[in-house]
Structure 1
Amino acid sequence: MTNPLPHADVAVVGGGVIGLAVAWRARQRGLDVLLIDRGDLGAGASRAAAGMLAPVAEADAQERALLVHNLESARRWPAFAAELGDVTGVDVGYRACGSLLLARDRDEAEHVERERALRERMGLKVERLLGSEARRREPALAPSLRLALALPDDHAVEPIRVTAALIEACVRAGVHVRAGTDVSDLATLPAERVVIATGAWAGESRRMPVRPVKGQALRLRDPSGPGLCDRVLRWGPPTPGYLVPRGDGRYYLGATMEERGFDTAVTALGVYELLRDAGEVIPGLLELEIEEALAGLRPGTPDNAPIVGTDPADERIVWATGHFRNGILLCPLTAELVADELTGGRPDHALRPERFAAEGAPA
């Protein structure tokens, strides 16, 4: 006989970084919190994420609201990482490493120049580098590199460590955690409010326009230790990619963008494309060992921005989903916005679900 779910002020459905952070912050506000996931905590998109904290690189120049929220959440990350470490003793792998945006040909060089202009308009730190200077800073880069941007404020964390720290923080705070618990009917949950943080599956439980976007990636390892690169490296379009160093000889290479429904198969084509493009940028990468080939499902929305706030048709439901490529980055800010909502506030921001209801999208 299974144990019945305890009654709580708030039930958070979804145990990825967003759901975990929301549960932790809500508990810190004095609410009794139940956290539910139908599988293992952090086993979905959070485990497959790269962990880049790149607020401008992961948003289109036209997505102004998303850019604003990305930048605000990026500013919160150093304190968020330090707080998690203080509370749990877990190092989340926060690295103030900066990144290089690279151009291999004329088209990519034009993209780099547009990105430089955007960041300069926003008052962000950016430095234009010739290929020779980029190679001086990262000697493993290919000699054919044409141009680069140095972005010193783009950093990174290790999502698996972030998840472990958030689980520990929730347990220590007294969140009621129920992993491996499937909830088919939200109405039956014994809670006053229900937070939907189920990522790509959020579109299944109710009628918000959330869809899965597949991303294949590789975890690589240099048996001789660190040294291939120190900074996050990014390249593209038309086929954007990135290499995230962990600082200890491990690297994350990602990631494809595929509209394949809930398919999470790793394919030979996906792995080939990742290695082909990365090998043109940093040839020594092809000598690394493959630790793991993996695929995750990003929760996409029609405007690529998250859905955060109370459901306009049901005050009991609060949304915290649709973070697409920015789930790790937006984790601190989303948790605060939802915690504010749960404790009587109604933060005024552009991520609220009303934007879809107002456009006639299902809500």
Structure 2
Amino acid sequence: MKTKYDVAVIGGGIIGCSIAYYLAKENIDVAVFEETQIASKSTRAAAGMLGAHSECDDLEIFYPFARSSQLDYFQLQDELKELSGVNIELRKGGIFQLAYSEHEKDELSATLALPTISWYDCTAVRNRENSVSEDIIGAAYIEDDVNVLPHSTCLAFSKSAQVFGASIFEFTPVLAIQKEDDTYTIKTNKGTFQAKTVVVANGVWSSSFFHQLGLHHTLSPVKGECISVSSEQPLLKHTLFHEHCYIVPRDNGRLVIGATMVKNDWHEQPTLGGLESLIAKAKTMLPTITDLKIESCWAGLRPQTFDKKPFIGYHPEDEDILFATGHFRNGILLAPATGQMIRDLIVKKDVRKDWIEAFKINRI
């Protein structure tokens, strides 16, 4: 079994697999080590919204990064399908970000100032989606905030990376990382591997590697619970969004309702209280949703940093260790841009200085 690589990526979620894909395209010999299966944990639990506009409260730094990542998906859907045979199920239609008062409309003013956003009054929204609550005064229509199927997208990155020569090790937890001369030794349950460079990208579980590598950073879990419901007839063509809650239509006719925000909860199971709050919130957006059948429910742990921005960059004292973690609510959205930024840092290409500063590990 091969044991020496240029780059070892710890974590086989969508961030780790995106990094592997972009590195492998550069003919870099990369291996991904995943504790369970590829596309499990937080990636599998996500709804897959690409909310560059609806999730953004920083138009100077975060928005350009998120927007570039969002736009990449329109190219990736064909590129990944051709390489991997996996359809990421990019669903167009966009988002209606609902407003129930003039105050809420005013809070959307920065978003509405962007050239790709339009304001629809209540009548116009209901002309497009006649089941939406009559209590809204209108909505920001964000056509480009589409969605993908997270599990499929992660698999597409993983399989496409393998087409370019990447190695994927499932059920292979990394137990320790140790530097010897200019090479890192990666100890796993399947033996010892070596790599010149290591990228830590395993979400909320990255904290243990921060500590192993001499840093005091900690990621906090924020549990998100979701429900999938089914309808005999298509009920929505667009995603509905309000106060960080959403109803996302899938191509198979299902609707995904999410997500709660339960801080510092490491239990990866939904609770009755959490599901009850989701249903109550969904009713305020789409009253007829109570007639639909529940298919499944689940939960995942979002990795939150101290300032809710991801850590993407070098270890402060060692450029052979990089981190790509802490993406909070936006791991699916930011996967392409993160993969490209890590690739560029490793191969020493230019990266926007404001992104390096915003996402660096030792920011304060």
User: TM-score scaled to structure 1, two decimals?
Assistant: 0.90
Question: Structure 2: how far apart are the matches of 1:13 and 1:101?
Answer: 36
Contact 1:305 1:351 in 2 (8 A): no
Determine the structure 2 residue equivalent to 1:56.
53
- CA shift, 1:288, in A, is 1.8
- CA shift, 1:120, in A, is 4.0
Determine the structure 1 residue equivalent to 2:87.
91
**Are positions 1:343 and 2:355 aligned together?**
no
Q: What runs of 5+ residues in structure 1 fail to find an aligned partner?
A: none
Question: Structure 2: how far apart are the matches of 1:137 and 1:17?
Answer: 33
1:213 counterpart (222, 242, 256):
222
Question: Structure 2: how far apart are the matches of 1:194 and 1:217?
Answer: 33
**Are positions 1:154 and 2:145 aligned together?**
yes
1:77 counterpart (46, 62, 73):
73
Amino acid at match of 2:204: A
**Are positions 1:14 and 2:19 aligned together?**
no
Q: Secondary structure at the match of 2:270?
A: coil
2:41 counterpart (31, 41, 44):
44
Q: Secondary structure at the match of 2:329?
A: coil
Amino acid at match of 2:223: K
- CA shift, 1:153, in A, is 1.9
Question: Structure 1: how far apart are the matches of 2:207 and 2:53?
Answer: 27
Q: Secondary structure at the match of 1:57?
A: coil
Question: Structure 2: how far apart are the matches of 1:41 and 1:351?
Answer: 28
Contact 1:214 1:256 in 2 (8 A): yes
Question: Structure 2: how far apart are the matches of 1:163 and 1:266?
Answer: 23
Contact 2:53 2:142 in 1 (8 A): no
Amino acid at match of 1:88: S
1:119 counterpart (111, 116, 119):
111
- CA shift, 1:322, in A, is 1.1
Amino acid at match of 2:47: A
Amino acid at match of 1:23: A
Aligned pairs for 1:61-210 within 5 A: 61=58, 64-104=60-100, 106=101, 109-115=102-108, 117-121=109-113, 123-187=114-178, 188-189=185-186, 190-206=194-210, 207=215, 208-210=217-219
User: TM-score scaled to structure 2, two decimals?
Assistant: 0.90
Question: Structure 2: how far apart are the matches of 1:84 and 1:355?
Answer: 29
- CA shift, 1:343, in A, is 1.6
Question: Structure 2: how far apart are the matches of 1:358 and 1:283?
Answer: 44
Contact 1:211 1:300 in 2 (8 A): yes
**Percent of aligned pairs with the same amino acid:** 29
Question: Structure 2: how far apart are the matches of 1:151 and 1:17?
Answer: 24
Determine the structure 1 residue equivalent to 2:246.
242
Determine the structure 1 residue equivalent to 2:181.
none
Contact 2:226 2:260 in 1 (8 A): yes
RMSD of aligned alpha carbons: 1.8
The structure 1 segments of at least 4 consecutive aligned residues displaced by more than 4 Å after TM superposition are 353-356
Question: Structure 1: how far apart are the matches of 2:307 and 2:356?
Answer: 12
Amino acid at match of 2:269: A
2:237 counterpart (225, 230, 236):
230
Amino acid at match of 2:209: S
Question: Structure 2: how far apart are the matches of 1:156 and 1:100?
Answer: 13
Question: Structure 2: how far apart are the matches of 1:29 and 1:14?
Answer: 20
